[in-house]
Amino acid sequence: MDPPAGRHPTIEYVAPFVVYAGMIALPLSPGLLFPIRFVIVLAVLLFVSRPYLTLHPSHLLASIGIGIAVFVVWVGPDLLFGYRHYWLFENPVVGKATSSLAPSLQQDYFFLLIRVLSSVALVPVLEELFWRGWLLRWLIQSDFRKIPVGTHQAGAFWLVAVLFAAEHGPFWEVGLLAGIIYNWWMVRTKNLADCILAHAVTNGILAIYVLAAGQWQYWL
The residue segments making up the domain with residue 46 are 10-218
4 inside domain: no
5 domain residue, yes or no? no
* Confidence at 6, pLDDT banded by 50, 70, 90: very low
Give me the helices (H) in the chain, please.
10-22, 30-44, 60-81, 109-117, 123-128, 136-138, 154-167, 172-189, 192-213
Residues in the chain: 220
Q: CA triplet 19, 102, 202: central angle to 5 degrees?
A: 55
Say if 20 falls within a structural domain: yes
pLDDT tens profile 188-197: 999 999 999 9
Per the structure, the count of domains in the chain is: 1
Is residue 3 included in any domain, yes or no? no
How confident is the model over 12-38, as pLDDT tens digits? Answer: 999 999 999 999 999 999 999 999 999
At residue 7 the predicted structure's pLDDT band, cuts being 50, 70 and 90, is: low
Residue range 127-169, pLDDT digits in tens = 999 999 999 999 999 999 999 999 999 999 999 999 999 999 9
Mean per-residue pLDDT for 105-110? 95
Q: Is residue 113 part of a domain?
A: yes
Flag whether 2 is in a domain: no
Phi and psi for 18 in degrees, rounded to 5?
-65, -45
Residue 185, domain member (yes or no): yes
Whether 199 maps to a domain, the answer reads yes
**Which pLDDT value is given to residue 87?**
93
Q: Which 8-state DSSP code applies to residue 3?
A: P
pLDDT at 170 over 60: yes
